Structure 1
Amino acid sequence: MAIGDYLRQARLTKGMSQTTVAAALYVTRQTVSRWEQDQTLPNIYVLQDLSKLYGCSLEALIGKTQPMQPMKRHINWLALFGLIWFNLIVVLAVAGTAIGLLMGLWVTVVTFIASPFLAIGANVLFGQTSAWWQLLAALFLGALGGSLVRPAWRITTYTWQAWQHYVRYNRRTIYTY
């Protein structure tokens, strides 16, 4: 028996209609009907609520099913072809822009941090005299660069995490079970 049959049987045993179940779970009657017809499956939290509503265990609600068999992965070739072209055209442009902006951000931060050392080094090593306001500006830029390290790191981390999520999504799109 399919899970939908077990759900229908538990509902009828309790003497409830699809409408009363839907009202108790704050879903539509059509949603309950789709569960019972195996068109969709309720998530685990809804199954827990259904087992409380019907007064039965979760195992009884979903029925004794066969032992889990390993699912075979199949490649969806059309999705793979579409992702390759989409990634080549759009994602490479966006990724290239993001990498360029991140590199520009880090070059700016490092240059700002290095500016006081360069100004003082030019005075000491090469005997170049600088006006007081140039040294003050270099110190200001160094402090500004130091304050930009944490936001730059957060932006870089966020961008890396977004990239990882995108790659994970692509892998899930290509493979079907």
Structure 2
Amino acid sequence: MFMDFIRNNKIAAGILTILRVYLGWSWLSAGWGKVTGGFDASGYLTGVVNNEMVMEQYPTYHAFIESFALPNAEMFSFLVAWGEVLVGLGLMLGILTTAAAFFGIVMNFAFMFAGTISSNPWMVVLTIFILAAGYNAGRIGGDRWVIPYLKTVFTRKKVIDTEGPQGQAA
């Protein structure tokens, strides 16, 4: 009953719009500050590597940060900053809302695995509602036009791929 409401109801779409715009602004403002402020993740990544709780609780994540992320801190700085901006824009504009929410929640969990709490748990809870709602979360936004367009493009491509060279069944 709740899932039907959150996935199909127009009132739920309005509530979800408020949630996603709030989350989108949080992501966009954090990311924009990083993009324009010369963000460098190496200090943060070093702190994660030196965090004993991360070593004990998440040894695989610790190994990933130590052996891959820290040596590539410049790339991670770029990915985090622009990832936050793109997640924020996707959520605020309601374009590819579910994908934006998914990548946002992945970043939230990465920050929490690193031992950073901040607003991440709250953002995870709100993002779960957006993910559960699917298309309805972006109905009042760009997804109203983008998702139907993408469905026709991919459906047309599938039909073309399964037909022979002259539109005949293969």
TM-score by length of 2: 0.26
Larger radius of gyration: 1
TM-score by length of 1: 0.26
